[in-house]
Structure 1
Amino acid sequence: MESSTTTSYSVVSELEGTLLKTPKPFAYFMLVAFEASGLIRYTLLLFLWPIIALLDVLGYRNGSLKLMIFVATAGLRESEIESVARAVLPKFYMDDISMNAWRVFGSCEKRVVVTRMPRVMVERFAKDHLRADEVIGTEIIVNRFGYATGLIKESDVDRSVFNSVANLFTDRRPQLGLGRPVISGSQTFLSLCEVSIKKIKCYNTE
Structure 2
Amino acid sequence: MLVAFEAGGLLRAFILFLLYPLVCLVGEEQGINVMVFVSFAGIKRKKFMVGSSVLPKYFLEDVGDEGFDAVMKAKRKIAVSDMPRIMIECFLKDYLRVDAVEGRELKTVCGYFVGLMEGKNANGVILNELRVGSHVIGIGSFNKSTDDQLFSYCKEIYWVSKAEKWNWKSLPREKYPKPLIFHDGRLAFRPTLVATLIMFMWLPLGVLVFLIRFICGVFLPLNISAIVSASTGLSTTVSRAKRLSWIASNKNDKKESGVLYVCNHRTLLDPIFVAIALMKPLAAVTYSVSRFSEVTSPIKVVRLTRDHERDRKVMEQQLSQGDLVVCPEGTTCREPYLLRFSPLFAEMTGDIVPVAVDLQVSMFYGTTASGCKCLDSIFNLLNPFVIYSVKILEKLPSSQTCIAGGKSRTEVANHVQNQIAKALGFECTTLTRKDKYMILAGNDGII
TM-score normalised by structure 2 residue count: 0.34
Secondary structure, counterpart of 2:43 in structure 1: coil
Taking every aligned residue pair, what percent have the same amino acid on both sides?
A: 30
User: Which of 69, 86, 100 is matched with 1:120 structurally?
Assistant: 86
User: Which of 54, 63, 72 is matched with 1:88 structurally?
Assistant: 54
User: Which of 29, 32, 39 is matched with 1:62 structurally?
Assistant: 29
The worse-fitting range, judged by mean Cα deviation, of 32-41 and 167-176 is: 167-176
Name the structure 1 match of 2:115: 150
User: Which of 108, 133, 136 is matched with 1:172 structurally?
Assistant: 133
Residue pair 2:130, 2:136 contacting (<8 A) in 1 also: no
| AA of the residue aligned to 2:95 | H
Name the structure 1 match of 2:19: 48
User: Which of 110, 126, 134 is matched with 2:76 structurally?
Assistant: 110
Structure 1: stretches of 5+ with no match in the other structure: 1-29
| AA of the residue aligned to 2:158 | I
TM-score normalised by structure 1 residue count: 0.71
In the TM superposition, residue 166 of structure 1 has moved relative to its aligned partner by 3.4
Residue pair 1:178, 1:190 contacting (<8 A) in 2 also: no
Aligned-residue Cα RMSD (Å) equals 2.9
Hey, what's the Cα distance between the residues in 2 that align with 1:127 and 1:84? 15
Distance of aligned partners of 1:174 and 1:137 in 2 relative to their CA distance in 1, 3 Å threshold: farther
Which structure carries more relative contact order (alpha carbon 8 Å, separation 6+)? 1
Q: Is 2:47 aligned against 1:38? A: no
Displaced runs of 4 or more, over 4 A:
161-165, 200-205
Hey, what's the Cα distance between the residues in 1 that align with 2:75 and 2:61? 24
Distance of aligned partners of 1:101 and 1:48 in 2 relative to their CA distance in 1, 3 Å threshold: same
Deviations 1:146-185 (A, max 9, x none): 100111111xx4xx3598853542323761100013679x
Deviations 1:37-66 (A, max 9, x none): 11111011111111111112xxxx332111
Residue pair 1:182, 1:188 contacting (<8 A) in 2 also: no
Q: State how many pairs are aligned.
A: 166
| AA of the residue aligned to 1:97 | V
Hey, what's the Cα distance between the residues in 2 that align with 1:70 and 1:174? 38
Q: Is 2:105 aligned against 1:139? A: yes
Residue pair 1:36, 1:84 contacting (<8 A) in 2 also: yes
Residue pair 2:131, 2:153 contacting (<8 A) in 1 also: no
Residue pair 1:173, 1:193 contacting (<8 A) in 2 also: no
In the TM superposition, residue 142 of structure 1 has moved relative to its aligned partner by 1.3
| AA of the residue aligned to 2:116 | L
Residue pair 2:64, 2:168 contacting (<8 A) in 1 also: no
Residue pair 1:76, 1:147 contacting (<8 A) in 2 also: yes
Structure showing greater Rg: 2
Hey, what's the Cα distance between the residues in 2 that align with 1:50 and 1:70? 16
In the TM superposition, residue 121 of structure 1 has moved relative to its aligned partner by 0.5
